[in-house]
């Protein structure tokens, strides 16, 4: 197996080369910098008969999975709203994450994808529309095509909505909130190494504290070797779904229009 943890724009080449060498691949998120590249990576892995997984560590984190179990059991009732806040003040302006050619964007391609992906596994549905707004206060540090802050909203078939914030210019943003007509779940930290903490209308969520990558790798080994089906999908198709929404978010922010998914 090869685990690709290189800058975003290099994922495409490295995953395809690994697949051609007959290796199963885990690729860090985002899967690629475009839907087109993501599809080519998926096709290459399918053609080679190898599995393509994406490094979504939160899909295996016990507190997260307990909140998802409660939602699936109907303990929150009909889901109405999700909020995801993910951000930090980024440092060194010369780093690859602020280089559009290597990163494929800015905060959304790095930290914002957690809020986006989280909205899908917390609500338990796929969004059908997106709106978005971009704010840039430092055009020197955050050059053209490198987003500093993006707010985006998602709509779901059930009528549930999500409101998310992705930023490279604010610290202490690591929070999920899920609201249903019978209860709620609040997670803070929600995606960091805090460890993850959650409370619901029933009280604190009691789940084991783990090293995220250890559990991720154990679970992914079971997926590859034994065909285990995870609670939350972490394959290339899952990564491609996020890329499609990311492209729609950028399109919505640039146009000011609601984009159908």
> Taking all residues of the chain, what is their mean pLDDT, rounded to a whole number?
98
Q: Give tens-digit pLDDT for 202-245.
A: 999 999 999 999 999 999 999 999 999 999 999 999 999 999 99
What's the pLDDT at 225? 96
Over residues 146-164, mean pLDDT: 98
Q: Give tens-digit pLDDT for 142-152.
A: 999 999 999 99
Q: Write down the pTM of the prediction.
A: 0.97
Active site (catalytic) residues: 29, 114
CATH 3.30.360.10 fits 57-210+234-260, yes or no: yes
DSSP code string of 75-137: TT-SEEEEEEEEE-----TTSGGG-HHHHSSSGGGTTHHHHHHHHHHHHTS-EEEEEEEEE-S
Residue 86 and residue 36: Cα distance in Å, rounded?
A: 26
Domain spans of the chain, in order of start = 57-210+234-260
CA dihedral sign, ordered 179, 28, 59, 57: negative
What's the pLDDT at 160? 98
Are the beta carbons of 172 and 131 closer than 8 angstroms?
Answer: no
């Amino acid at each position: 197996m090869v685990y690709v943890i290189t800058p975003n724009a290099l994922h495409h080449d490295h995953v395809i080369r690994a697949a051609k060498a007959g290796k199963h691949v885990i690729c860090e998120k985002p899967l690629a910098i475009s839907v087109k590249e993501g599809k080519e990576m998926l096709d290459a892995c399918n053609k080679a008969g190898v599995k393509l997984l994406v490094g979504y560590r939160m899909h295996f984190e016990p507190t997260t999975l307990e909140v998802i179990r409660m939602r699936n059991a109907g303990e929150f009732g009909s889901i109405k709203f999700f909020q995801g806040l993910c951000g930090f003040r980024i440092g060194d302006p010369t780093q690859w994450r602020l280089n559009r050619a290597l990163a494929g964007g800015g905060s959304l391609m790095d930290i914002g994808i957690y809020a986006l992906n989280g909205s899908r596994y917390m609500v338990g549905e796929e969004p059908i529309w997106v709106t978005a707004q971009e704010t840039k206060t430092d055009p020197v540090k955050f050059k053209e095509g490198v987003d500093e802050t993006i707010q985006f909203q998602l709509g779901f078939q059930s009528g549930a909505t999500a409101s998310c914030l992705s930023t490279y210019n604010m610290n202490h943003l690591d929070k999920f909130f899920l609201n249903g007509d019978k209860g709620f779940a609040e997670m803070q930290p929600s995606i960091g190494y805090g460890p993850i903490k959650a409370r619901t209308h029933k009280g604190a969520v009691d789940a084991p504290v783990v090293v995220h990558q250890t559990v991720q790798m154990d679970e992914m080994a079971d997926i590859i070797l034994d065909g285990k089906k995870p609670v939350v999908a972490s394959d290339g198709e899952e990564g491609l779904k996020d890329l499609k929404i990311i492209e729609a978010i950028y399109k919505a922010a640039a146009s000011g229009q609601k984009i159908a998914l």
